[in-house]
Amino acid sequence: MNGAQRRVGLVLARAARVLGEEAYYHEFLDGLERVLTPAGVSVLVKVVTDRAAEAETYERWAARQEIDGVILVDLLPDDDRVALVGRLGLPAVVLGAPSTASGLPTVWTDDAGWAREAIRFLAERGHEVIGHISGPLAFAHTQLRQAGADEEAAARGVTLLRAGGDYSYESGAAATGELLARKPTAIVCDSDVMAVAALDTLRGHDLAVPGDVSVVAWDDSALCQLAVPALSAMSHDVSRIGELAASALLDAMAGAAPAVYEAPAAHIVVRESTR
């Protein structure tokens, strides 16, 4: 781009808006702007319906020289967006595992390790049958979380039950109903919204939380704190992740060699939803 003002882009491919993701990306953007604004860089966020529209957005931005760099989120294994931004000559940063980035700079969150910690936390409290409500199965971070949960469950002799969701309240409620037929004593949900849905679904089945079933959310947000009972959650510093992504993108725009920027480790915040 010409002129002093630079701009970076973030595209979110969503068939529908999901309430919990709005809270996550609000914190993420706060962190981005905390680093980018003093550097004279603004952020352009665009929500599109699917991955094809996302690719078209990058091509249009590059052709019109509208942005100076992009942040890629929700990576798939062998994601074709990595090659696309390379072909378009767009500096880019991947938010996800280095294995998905094919040489691009990466802000790495240890999804597998965090999933192991969640299962370990529940196993140490006596739970032997644990349900896991995941996000979209195509996402690399979902696959990493499943692998970490499987590994920890196997090491501790825990039975792990699985159901899939898309981070929405409706999918969390449906997945909880699916799991209840197999009688878990605890459920881990890959988002705060799905965890709130789990609470409501359990209540609808006359099951007490945590007396009958404990619930753990993945993201620690205001929803977790306001839920009844308040939700135990895997808490990670989303604002700091945004700051790291901004620093990585500034480095990429300056021509620095790709690097891995490791996010702070997540930790369990214990509240009333776990016994």
Query: Above 80 in pLDDT, residue 15?
Result: no
The amino acid occupying position 34 is: R
Q: Model confidence over 38-96: pLDDT tens digits? A: 999 999 999 998 999 999 999 999 999 999 999 999 888 889 999 999 999 999 999 98
pLDDT at 1: 46
Report the distance separating Cα 88 and Cα 58, nearest Å. 8
The rounded distance, in Å, linking the Cα atoms of 161 and 120 is 15
Q: Is 150 helix (H, G, I), strand (E, B) or coil?
A: helix
pLDDT of residue 30: 95
- pLDDT of 16 > 70? The answer is no
Q: Can you tell me the distance from the alpha carbon of 117 to that of 123, in angstroms, rounded to the nearest whole number?
A: 10
Distance (Å, whole) CA 192 – CA 269: 13
Spacing of C-alpha 153 from chain mean position: 21
**Where do the structural domains in the chain lie, given as residue ranges?**
6-109+237-265, 111-235
Torsion of CA 18, 105, 28, 165, to 10 degrees: 20
Is pLDDT at 19 greater than 50 in this prediction?
no
Instruction: State the pLDDT at residue 24.
Output: 79
What is the predicted pLDDT for the residue at 95?
A: 93
The pLDDT of 257-268, averaged and rounded, is 92
Q: How many residues does the chain have?
A: 275
Q: Calculate mean pLDDT across residues 115-129.
A: 97
Indicate whether 22 pLDDT > 90. no
Between the alpha carbon of residue 98 and those of residues 77, 128, 173, 230, the distances in Å are: 11, 33, 32, 34
pLDDT surpasses 80 at 20: no
* Domain 6-109+237-265 homologous superfamily, CATH: Response regulator (3.40.50.2300)
Q: Determine the Cα–Cα distance for residues 255 and 249; give it in Å rounded to an integer.
A: 10
pLDDT for residue 227 is more than 80:
yes
Query: What percent of the chain has a predicted confidence (pLDDT) above 70?
Result: 96
Contact 148, 113 (CB under 8 A): yes
Q: Would you say the C-alpha torsion 171, 9, 264, 35 has a positive or negative sign? A: negative
Mean pLDDT of 236-252: 95
- What is 111-235's CATH topology? Rossmann fold (3.40.50)
CB under 8 Å to 24, separation ≥6 — which residues? 219, 221, 238
pLDDT reported for residue 101 = 87
Distances (CA, A) of 188 to 91, 122, 145, 159, 230: 36, 9, 11, 13, 14
Q: Is the per-residue pLDDT at 3 higher than 70?
A: no
pLDDT band at 18 (very low <50, low <70, confident <90, very high): low
Q: Give the pLDDT of residue 159.
A: 98
Q: Which two tokens stand for residue 128?
A: 């032997």
Specify the pLDDT at position 148.
96
| Distance, CA of 36 to CA of 17 (rounded, Å) | 26
The span from the CA of 229 to the CA of 245, in Å, is 34
For residue 28, the Cα-to-chain-centroid distance in whole angstroms is 11
Report the pLDDT value the prediction gives residue 221, as an integer from 0 to 100.
85
